[in-house]
Structure 1
Amino acid sequence: MPININIIRSVLIERVLNETVSVKTILFKDRVSSKAEPGQFLMVWIPGVEELPMSVMVADEVDSAAITIRRKGIGSTALFNKRIGEMLGIRGPYGNHFKIAPNARTVLLVGGGTGLVPLIRLAAKLNEMRICCTLIIGASAKREVFFENTADAVLSDTKHKIIVSTENGDYGFKGTATDAMTQALKEETFDSVYTCGPELMMKKVLAIAYAYSLPIQASLERHMKCGIGICASCCIEDKLVCKDGTVFCEKQLSKMNEFGRCYRDKTGRKIVY
């Protein structure tokens, strides 16, 4: 019997991984979520608190999925504090997803923070297709680096390179993720670029990709209340990130004047970066 993804499903937290002092990954059994495409998201209900959109992370068990949380606001902190054996509610997965060109041979992934989540899921797919991959992990410092070992394991069956960049230079490449991207493009040729992370970072990734005439896909983040295109709280001009995205290509991004310039807070007010 088909499952209605719009009805909340209760899931039991089976494992919790501490990625950094402020980032955790929560794993749970859910067959529908386990089949999510790279870039799709879940609406995660924290009982009595809030419902949040969360990208679907890979999991190492059959019919399992995961979400990765950075402790920040009320909702994310409540989710961060969840323990093994507690329950969550989930809807979805929703949204479109990253697309891989049939003739792709070598691709570049650029991510920062929890924006790495959909890129790790994409990396797993690239691994299955034996497509060569370079993944750039951007962080402010070594203490904020996570998913390096996970990415290496996920890409174990294909030729790959993982570049960690830290802004203070205490680990890996010294500089931003976009600095590392510029350096990588000087040394190697890529078919396309995929990115997810802070929007100002993605804006620079887009500009660099343009300079090298590379097709690019970016997974955007916006405040979401419904996840199904009704409330319009996730709008970016005439697009709804939950329905038209979260993934947009370079042609779409180039027409978005708000991309990398402003966003809307939970009340709908436009905030300039």
Structure 2
Amino acid sequence: MKEIWSRFRKLISCWKGLTSLGRLKKIALSISYNGASYHGWQYQREDVRTVQGALEDALSIIADSPIRVSCAGRTDAGVHATNQIVDFSTNSKRDMKAWVSGTNSRLPESISVNAAAFVPSSFSSRHSAIARRYLYVIYNSRIRSALLPEYLSREYRDLDHEKMHEAAQLLVGEKDFTSFRASKCQSNTPMRNVFSVRVWRERDLVLVDITANAFLLHMVRNIVGVLLDVGANEKPISWPGSLLACKDRSKASKTAPPNGLFLVGVKYEVGVGVEIPALVWPHFLRVSS
């Protein structure tokens, strides 16, 4: 009799597990994170803290099965995001509240799921994206900020943001960005299409807003490094054009620090239902579309 009851309990357990599963479906999330305490987005190994690793651990608990995610842009160590898009496939039956609030309850405070939506099985957060948008925030002051160093890149030199903006327009268009890629960049081609670059000032903050179809490793930070030297009157406005022509990374400026960089938006041909306003923490700077 005990053996019969034991088998019955096992059958009930299996049945409960099966009823919690359904058709394989794909879900997209919008997430934000403070990248200061992470070794970048991409999972490396268990003892290395990454955004992907923390997110997959939390989602796997909610799904009660292993979850692997892909993202629109693999941010470097120290880089932040207000609207990173990720996707994953699962057959676990959960409502959207569970994927948002439930996952957030399992995440550290430095990572948050903003929204979730079902997407077609053909959707890829990375390959379906037609544009990525980054904002770089520079604290232009000779006095360092004691409160916000994680979210700002400080530049002590006086910056002429109008010169920076004019110089940045030389980068717009489909061009060879060899001079702006990191030596460890593994992309098959240095060609990228920059749709827009805008530089402006908000009191002590100088902001660089750049959108492109995709970016090379350290490309945004290398562009900012060049614009900083132009803004400090150490290089001419024409310098970005000269660097594009020479195709030599060693001729360009040093790479700007990661802490001022935010991934603020990803664009798709068809909306994925997880867009949020591009607000940059901690300044609440609304980025116009």
**Higher Cα Rg: structure 1 or 2?**
2
Normalised by the length of structure 1, the TM-score is 0.24
Structure with more contact order per residue of length (Cα contacts < 8 Å, sep ≥ 6): 2
More helix by share: 2
